[in-house]
A and B are shown apart, each in its own frame.
Chain A
Amino acid sequence: TQLLEQSPQFLSIQEGENLTVYCNSSSVFSSLQWYRQEPGEGPVLLVTVVTGGEVKKLKRLTFQFGDARKDSSLHITAAQPGDTGLYLCAGEGGSYIPTFGRGTSLIVHP
């Protein structure tokens, strides 16, 4: 089973701060996805990255896929309380089975 390590596990910040969440593996993934999960709900896809070195932007969120396709990062600029949630990365290595990281729990205080 391929493993994905996410860091940090918890983040508690003030509104307006910037933050970065990391997703690392020793395995190569053909694609990597980031999901956000709000309390009491299932995860919802934010983005999929497929090319090494790829950078995608979604408003205040910037996603990067490492050149070697083993790692990824999510950067949030000027965090808002609405960004609060559990952020999960998931890698796909060619099988039917996606691998999920354990998640980063983010709380943004107003």
Chain B
Amino acid sequence: DVKVTQSSRYLVKRTGEKVFLECVQDMDHENMFWYRQDPGLGLRLIYFSYDVKMKEKGDIPEGYSVSREKKERFSLILESASTNQTSMYLCASSLGVGWEQFFGPGTRLTVL
């Protein structure tokens, strides 16, 4: 059974903290994505990666960075968390362009 897992379902952090969100896929997929989901705004792409050590900015990369050292793992980093980064964060992977995206269950991050 194919799977995308995220390190935490719920996370509470304080303003200014460095936050790491981890995502692992077991499908040997080339592409991995990080989205944030907010009510009324849908899914907005933060960063994506089409290969190990490769990354591209999405629509809203400000305040975030990513790391992909291994094919199966894609990490999202909030260098200095702020309250406007409170959101649901979804990781996804796909075999290639135009292929189905498989999503993780999401991490609901609250920044106080």
Residues of A within 8 A of B (CB): 1, 9, 30-31, 33, 35, 40-45, 48, 88, 90, 92, 94-98, 100-103
Contact = CB atoms under 8 A, between A and B. Distances in A.
A94 B97 CA distance: 7
Given A1-B59, A41-B105, A42-B92, A95 B41 contact: no
A38 to B, nearest CB: 10
B56 interface: yes
What is the interface residue range for chain B against chain A?
20 to 34
B41 A102 contact: yes
A40 B105 CA distance: 7
Given A102-B42, A103-B42, A96 B106 contact: no
27 contacts: A30-B98, A31-B98, A33-B100, A33-B101, A40-B105, A41-B106, A42-B4, A42-B90, A42-B92, A43-B43, A43-B90, A45-B102, A88-B42, A88-B43, A92-B98, A94-B97, A95-B97, A96-B31, A96-B56, A97-B56, A98-B101, A100-B35, A100-B43, A101-B42, A102-B40, A102-B41, A102-B42
Contacts of B100: 33, 45, 48
Contacts of A103: 42
Contacts of A40: 105-106
Q: Which 6 A-B pairs have the closest CB atoms?
A: A42-B103, A102-B42, A100-B43, A92-B98, A45-B100, A31-B98
Chain A CB count within 10 A is highest, among B35, B41, B43, B50, for: B43
Contact of B58 (A41, A43, A97): A97
